[in-house]
Amino acid sequence: MKLGFIGLGIMGAPMAGHLLAAGHELFVQSRSGAPADLLAQGAKACASAAEVVRQADIVFTMVPDTPHVADVLFGENGIAQGLKESERGADGSVGKVVVDMSSISPIATKDFAARIEALGCDYLDAPVSGGEIGAKAASLTIMVGGREAVFEQVKPLFELMGKNITLIGPHGSGQTCKVANQIVVALNIEAVGEALLFAAKAGADPAKVRQALMGGLATSRILEVHGERMIKRQFNPGFRIALHQKDLNLALEGARAMGLSLPNTASTQQLMSSCVAHGGGGWDHSGLVRALEMAANFQIAKG
């Protein structure tokens, strides 16, 4: 198939690589330029998002935040411009699909989908979970919003990038699920940080505490991966705190709109804001523990 991929960062580059490795023709565009290894494997660099959508039948986007998606879709030389210039069938359709795999506002997503569909193009929101490790291993969880027929059309491509792939519901549902996912992940990171800090301050070996907890009800993927990062002081992303902070802001914005109280989400968002204020926006989100450590004037382990 002729596919497009826009946004080739920590997550996007390996995801695009899986599509390319499966034998698809791939047209790519990224603000930072296309990685040399993708070009060496046959990816074709495009000057704009409009050029990508003119060349490809299905276009994936993977960029940091809601304004970035809006710019890719509707900015100068964006996807919408390319769709306007595309040939149309008798039904007015251009026969293309735009799949946004970024993590952005569910409310904005519904608007974006309506505007793209008005141009004769199908749309899916399909944010992911699994981080850089999952992107490289093609084991991402993919949460999809959109029409079932379009989902079934794109599903074989999702299966090249992920393992747990679920159609949640109509447009915006994928993003809603991703926000819920980010609440669970953030609060688990915070809980692991508190537990290991408590244990270390009490004089226990945090590595052995973690090992013991891995065999009981407290075990989790967060304890396994991020607990180890906290102990070994390995805070290179991964998934950047600034992006997780953005996701929790989306959760709190949605909660305010619904009159919903999310007290622990709010407190964890404040810990992430503290990390960002201390220059940690680029830390892996396991680095949230540093905010707890600063408050305690004590470090889980020596870095």
| Residues designated as active site | 178
Contacts 24+ apart (CB under 8 A), 278-283: 280/235, 280/241, 281/240, 281/241, 281/242, 281/245, 282/237, 282/240, 282/241, 282/242, 283/235, 283/236, 283/237, 283/240, 283/241
Query: For the chain, what's the residue count?
Result: 303
For 123, phi then psi, to 5°, come to -145, 140
Closest CA to 1 of 204, 160, 216, 234: 160
- Cβ contacts of 277 within 8 Å, gap of 6 or more: none
